Structure 1
Amino acid sequence: MSVIKKKKHVSKKNKKAWRKYCDIKDVEDFLEDQRLEERIGKFETKPDSELFVVDTAGDEKPEVTDVKPLSLKQKKRALLNQTPKCFEVLLPTSKVQDPNAKRNHVNPVGTKPTALSKLTQKRRFEKGAYVKKVELVRKNKKIALAKKRKAKEIEKTFKKNLWGDELPEVKGIPSTLCDDFVSQEAQLHNVLPEKRLRPKPPPPKTVATRAAIETPHPGVSYNPSYQEHQDLLQEVVQHEEKMMKKEAHLNRVTTKMFSKVTAQDKENQWREEMSAGLPQPHNPATAPSDEETDNEYKAINPPVKNKKKDHKARRKQRERIEERERLKREKIEKKKITDIYKLRKLQSSISAKEKLQAELQAKRTAKRQFISATAVPALNAHKPPVREPDLVDPTQLSGDLRNITTNTNLLRDRFESLQRRGALAASKLMMKKKKRVKSYFKPGHKVTEQDIEKYVQKMKGKKDPKKTVIKK
């Protein structure tokens, strides 16, 4: 016996209550079926060939043949002709037609030109910005046509596989992926590894060629002439003066900027700064005596009298102001006359200055081009070492190869030469600081007084005995 539930009466005065207590499942199912029919079509409109299948085999059982299972490679190759799962979302599934076939195009907000935008466009047109843009478009079109022509010339080379499939299939890209919305990365991702395209390596960087061994100065010879040795000596002197000037400049802008103060002056200055604003102690030497004050009261801020200027003082003040203005105007007029006579001189000085600036600019441009053409490629952040001028002391000049003494290291010279020519990356000498190891005395039950005395004497013999710690 089924129990009949009592109908529950609830209030439905709010929209929330209607949603909670109303059963609209049948309406939702009907609407879902209607949307499904709109997407895939109704059964009445579909032909019989899509709904029914004609059974031509009958009850005959097919012959079972031994089928060799496909390998993993063959399975992957069979999947190439299918559309990938990631691109199935992009394919259209709905069959709902647009209700308004003749839909008007509506411009988005902000596309309508305003008065300010029209004025800006007019100014740009007068300046010639649009003419430059048109010229740039023409230039880009010419470059694109040249690239296309060059690509066609490359295609004329007989490198195609005449006995294979189409070009995408030869490269390993399936024809199902050769669509407009499929990116090149996605195409290459679905290509088999053995047919995947490899990117071309970048071309090698051009390195400025330099001589392996730089020609040394003639004054470096073991038996140079007097003039050549003096020329080399002059170059070394100029280099040393330049380095001394640089060192003096660094010393001037760092160490000598700060004045030296003794410890006593520093303490007095600190005491004076810290005691600023505090009540000073009574000093009878600096205190005013009774004789000077004479027991007379004097205010710190005496009263000010509001003394008015009379007519004569105001007239004199007005006359002084007018005279000052008259002299100022006369000076301006005089300067105008002198400037007119100076026009020719100013014109000549301006033209001379412009000529000098043009010459300097040409020199800078030539120097910049020379440096860029002969610059060493930047292989890392460090700069190659600058070559120091070689010099043989006059007392060490021997005159023959037997008694000559070498001043440079051949291995180091070749290593720095490779760095200056850009064959090796410039390196930086890193010096590690040695840690100061503290020595300790580990006492034990076998240690005697003589061992302790020996250790104490050993520590006293060191340069810095304060660093040693002795455990007792």
Structure 2
Amino acid sequence: MTAIKKKKRVSKKSKTAWRKYSDINDVEEFLEDQRLEERLGKFDTKPDEELFVLDTHGDDKPEEKPDVKPEIKPLSAKQRKRALLSETPKCFEVLLPTSKVQDPNAKRNHVKPVGSKPSDLSKITKQRKLVKGVLAKKVEDIKKNKKIVAERRKKIKSIRKTYDKNIWGDDVLEAKSIPETLVDEFISPEAQLHNVPTTKRLRSKPALPKSVVTRKSVEVPHPGVSYNPSFKEHQELLQEVVQHEQKMMKREAHLHRVTTGMFSKVTPKEKENQWREEMSAGLPQPHDPTTDPDSEPSDNEYKAINPPVKNKKKDHKARRKQRERIAERERLKQEKINKKKITDIYKLRKIQSSLANKEKLSAELRSKRATKRAAREATAPPALSARKPPAREPEFVDPEQLTGDLRNLSNTTNLLKERFESLQRRGALAASKIMMKKKRKLKSYFKSGHKVTEKDIERYVNRDVGKK
């Protein structure tokens, strides 16, 4: 008698225990059969020819093959290639689906292959585009782009047909694209080539305006600057100088007013008092009973600083008076608004005339500014740098220094500086800034040592005394 094995109870709390002690072979076999049917198709749907084979000979007799074979004409290479056209290439077989599982997304957009028949919806859409002219415009754009590309390619491939340049007659340096300004017989070709930039082009200078050509190199001074001027010309020059000085004084006063004059000066004592007041703000001040006349000595009695507030209600009369005041205020406010509306209606004609006058005045000012700007641009020198050229200062000779002859005439201006500023004002040179280097004050020290004698010390002391 065989002993019945008792079933062992095992805990299947974890995944590993469940997999270890659970028998799922039947489930795996069922899933494997289902996957096989998905790959190869179900047996119910397949025809009998694929599932069964008709056996015409027995197990003992082998299949008889005819000895005479019909003559089959071999295919040519061209026919073999044509037969392969209908087959799928080997490189594209990997892309074909091998599974017969249906697409889980039934609403997927289907992309028709090239050469398939158009649908009714696509025909309607195409007809609408033809009516609107969208397709015609696309065709025109494609033709236009093709023409532009063809012209561009033709331009690139165009060959120069005229050979009128004499490369042997030109200078060697000019043939190497060196500018004429750098060609010099005293400079070596290596140095000239070194000065040419990598792009073989120098920075082009700005075009000189007409004012540089038409403006005189030497400006005629005022007749009052002469060593023997007339009284009238001297007084005219004096008035110009006075106006210029007044303008400069007014500008200095304005700068002083908006910078230094904005801050008031205080004495050190006032400054200390202000600091003490600011620092002691919010702190309890010491109580002085002598200065407070209302204060009376109390017998240690507590007295509140703020008396208690009583919640006194308003009666019906007070409420009514308050409502009447509010209503009267609103009525007066509305009357004022209505009165203003009426006055504005009567002022419309006046406002319209003032606006017309203002527009006329602004148009005149605009035209004046435009003419002035055009005249300034026509005569303005070129902007060779970010700085503006220095303005010309008016020259004036004091009546006491007037000599009346050229022998005792004293020079008031520097000729070189005046010519340099004139070139800047006319645009021939770029305006520059005067840069003055400050001389450093070197302080010397005496280095003591065992080789220093008393004579060296005396010489050093005497040198310092002589400098002072």
> TM (normalized to structure 1)?
0.52
Deviation (angstroms), 1:233: 1.4
Task: Give the structure 2 partner of residue 205 of structure 1.
Answer: 206
Distance, in Å, in 1 between the alignment partners of 2:240 and 2:234 is: 10
**C-alpha spacing 1:377/1:264, structure 2 compared with 1 (3 Å):** same
Deviation (angstroms), 1:239: 1.0
User: Which structure 2 residues correspond to residues 12-31 of structure 1 after superposition, within 5 A?
Assistant: none
Select the structure with the greater relative contact order (CA < 8 A; seq sep ≥ 6).
Answer: 2
Task: Give the structure 2 partner of residue 428 of structure 1.
Answer: 433
Can you give the 5+ residue segments of structure 2 that lack an aligned partner in the other structure? 1-18, 20-76, 79-90, 93-111, 118-143, 166-198
Deviation (angstroms), 1:322: 1.6
Query: In terms of mean alpha carbon deviation, does 292-301 or 351-360 score higher?
Result: 292-301
2:256 to 222, 244, 251: 251
Task: Give the structure 1 partner of residue 367 of structure 2.
Answer: 362
User: Which structure 2 residues correspond to residues 119-268 of structure 1 after superposition, within 5 A?
Assistant: 159-160=162-163, 204-208=205-209, 209=212, 210-268=215-273
2:383 to 378, 382, 385: 378
The Cα offsets for residues 216-258 of structure 1, whole Å up to 9 and x where unpaired, read as 2222222222222222211111111111111111111111111
Deviation (angstroms), 1:337: 2.8
Task: Give the structure 2 partner of residue 455 of structure 1.
Answer: 461
The residue matched to 2:237 in structure 1 has which SS?
Answer: helix
Task: Give the structure 2 partner of residue 396 of structure 1.
Answer: 401
**C-alpha spacing 1:453/1:261, structure 2 compared with 1 (3 Å):** farther
**C-alpha spacing 1:375/1:450, structure 2 compared with 1 (3 Å):** closer
Task: Give the structure 1 partner of residue 188 of structure 2.
Answer: none
Distance, in Å, in 2 between the alignment partners of 1:103 and 1:379 is: 70
Deviation (angstroms), 1:331: 2.0
Distance, in Å, in 2 between the alignment partners of 1:287 and 1:326 is: 50
Q: Tell me the matched-pair count.
A: 292
**C-alpha spacing 1:275/1:339, structure 2 compared with 1 (3 Å):** closer
**C-alpha spacing 1:331/1:103, structure 2 compared with 1 (3 Å):** farther
**Which amino acid letter does the alignment assign opposite residue 207 of structure 1?**
L
1:317 to 305, 319, 322: 322
**C-alpha spacing 1:439/1:320, structure 2 compared with 1 (3 Å):** same
The residue matched to 1:291 in structure 2 has which SS?
Answer: coil
The residue matched to 2:438 in structure 1 has which SS?
Answer: coil
**Which amino acid letter does the alignment assign opposite residue 428 of structure 2?**
A
- Percent identical among aligned pairs is 64
Task: Give the structure 2 partner of residue 128 of structure 1.
Answer: none
Deviation (angstroms), 1:391: 1.2
* CA contact 2:289–2:295 (8 Å) conserved in 1: no
Distance, in Å, in 2 between the alignment partners of 1:295 and 1:225 is: 98
* CA contact 2:227–2:409 (8 Å) conserved in 1: yes
1:342 aligns with 2:365: no
Distance, in Å, in 1 between the alignment partners of 2:280 and 2:466 is: 47
Deviation (angstroms), 1:449: 9.7
**C-alpha spacing 1:333/1:374, structure 2 compared with 1 (3 Å):** same
Distance, in Å, in 2 between the alignment partners of 1:294 and 1:423 is: 97
Query: In terms of mean alpha carbon deviation, does 248-257 or 365-374 score higher?
Result: 365-374
The residue matched to 2:296 in structure 1 has which SS?
Answer: helix
Can you give the 5+ residue segments of structure 1 that lack an aligned partner in the other structure? 1-12, 14-43, 46-94, 105-140, 163-197, 463-472
**Which amino acid letter does the alignment assign opposite residue 410 of structure 1?**
L
**Which amino acid letter does the alignment assign opposite residue 409 of structure 2?**
I
**C-alpha spacing 1:294/1:245, structure 2 compared with 1 (3 Å):** farther
1:415 to 411, 416, 420: 420
> TM (normalized to structure 2)?
0.52
**Which amino acid letter does the alignment assign opposite residue 299 of structure 1?**
A
Task: Give the structure 1 partner of residue 331 of structure 2.
Answer: 326
User: Which structure 2 residues correspond to residues 278-289 of structure 1 after superposition, within 5 A?
Assistant: none
* CA contact 2:390–2:421 (8 Å) conserved in 1: yes
Distance, in Å, in 2 between the alignment partners of 1:253 and 1:393 is: 34
Distance, in Å, in 2 between the alignment partners of 1:275 and 1:427 is: 56
Task: Give the structure 2 partner of residue 76 of structure 1.
Answer: none
Distance, in Å, in 2 between the alignment partners of 1:304 and 1:402 is: 101
Distance, in Å, in 2 between the alignment partners of 1:456 and 1:315 is: 105
* CA contact 2:228–2:405 (8 Å) conserved in 1: yes
Distance, in Å, in 1 between the alignment partners of 2:279 and 2:416 is: 62
Deviation (angstroms), 1:270: 3.1
Distance, in Å, in 2 between the alignment partners of 1:159 and 1:275 is: 97
The residue matched to 2:397 in structure 1 has which SS?
Answer: coil
Distance, in Å, in 2 between the alignment partners of 1:290 and 1:355 is: 74
Deviation (angstroms), 1:399: 2.5
Choose 1 or 2 for highest CA Rg.
Answer: 2
RMSD of aligned Cα (Å): 4.4
Deviation (angstroms), 1:378: 2.1
The residue matched to 1:300 in structure 2 has which SS?
Answer: coil
Distance, in Å, in 2 between the alignment partners of 1:423 and 1:368 is: 22
Deviation (angstroms), 1:332: 2.2
**Which amino acid letter does the alignment assign opposite residue 205 of structure 1?**
P
Task: Give the structure 2 partner of residue 86 of structure 1.
Answer: none
Task: Give the structure 1 partner of residue 356 of structure 2.
Answer: 351
Distance, in Å, in 2 between the alignment partners of 1:359 and 1:401 is: 52
